[in-house]
Amino acid sequence: MPVSYQRKLPTTGYWIFICNTSLWFADQFLRSDRTRLYYKISDHHRHDFGPGQLGVLRCNDDSRPARLRNGNSKLQKGIYAFMGVNGAGQHIPDPDTLGYADPTDAAEPKWRVPVTIIENLVDRPLLDAELPADDEKFQYLHRALRTATIPIGREAFEFIVDMAGGIAESQEIALLSPDDVAKIQEFENLNAGRTPIITETHSRRIERGSIGRWVKRQQGYRCQICSALGCFPIAFEDRNGVGFAEAHHVIPVSEGRAGSLSHLNIMVLCPNHHRQAHHGRFEINRDEPDHWQITLDGNSIRVDKAPPPV
């Protein structure tokens, strides 16, 4: 691979894993009970992978004959999974032959990385036509280079995660209820030992979950900081006439700490104050059972927590 290619596409820690469906049947693997695999990478990326990196599995248009599809429809070009990297590149054969058109290909030592499928989209893929067509950040998803792995920017990756979250809510998040303390604790315990690979995608989607929606309803979709400052508290109304607000987790969900999923950890904010909470002069001075005392741009503000469910 020319040096100019590597200069043009610097390593970002986010990847497009290219799948040629005539050589490896991704749908066959994704419909199995397996979640871990060694994925072949480009030789020139052999030193660029490491634990904690993330990627998307991008499949090409399916050219397999019907007899090789096990009754499944042809895959269309698009994204079929989110994957997390668990380690560095290794020059090894693939210990799992599932999905190979020619199983002897698995026995050949190649550069591979251990990955985990952290979100399986085989039944709800993000198809090529759904991605922005005129944005260069997505150009190698639309028209992949002849290589096994391609870096992608964090902004594009997060955009794709948001799109996936808008298609279907994570099942384990959907099962949570604000008044089911035991279920919340079970979910927190389950995620406590997981790496940020998994919790990053969960934390970006959990504000769409039942607890975030419940707290926003309790607060009337009003920004709590705008209310405390005496400003009009509703940023705008959506197409259904409901005020738009976002759920801010004071303790980031990605930290996996006890209490991060509780309704007592959610502050309802307008988009502007939500961004400010993450990137601006925003500090939590006290976290009391019924309120937070925060400092925003040097001003001390009390923000009340949602009352317990009845």
- The model's pLDDT over 65-86, given as tens digits with 9 standing for 90+, comes to 887 877 778 899 999 999 989 8
The residue type found at 111 is W
pLDDT of residue 91: 97
pLDDT of residue 191: 54
Beta bridge partners of 56: 16, 82
- Is the pTM higher than 0.85? The answer reads no
- Determine the average pLDDT of the residues in 42-59: 92
- Determine the average pLDDT of the residues in 76-102: 93
State which of 69-78, 234-243, 266-275 shows the largest mean pLDDT: 266-275
The phi, psi pair for 264, rounded to 5°, reads -75, -5
Are the C-beta atoms of 62 and 76 separated by less than 8 Å? yes
Give burial (CB, 10 Å; 0-12/13-18/19+) of 144.
middle
Arch. (CATH architecture) of 3-167: Roll (3.10)
The phi, psi pair for 224, rounded to 5°, reads -70, -25
What confidence category does residue 119 fall into, taking pLDDT thresholds of 50, 70 and 90? confident
Pick from 52, 109, 107, 110: nearest CA to 83 = 52
* Out of 25-29, 155-159, 275-279, least confident range: 155-159
Tokens of 133: 């067509």
**Domain ranges within the chain, ordered by starting residue:** 3-167, 172-304
Check pLDDT > 60 for residue 44.
yes
Tokens of 123: 């039944």
Check pLDDT > 50 for residue 56.
yes
* Out of 107-116, 181-190, 193-202, 210-219, least confident range: 193-202
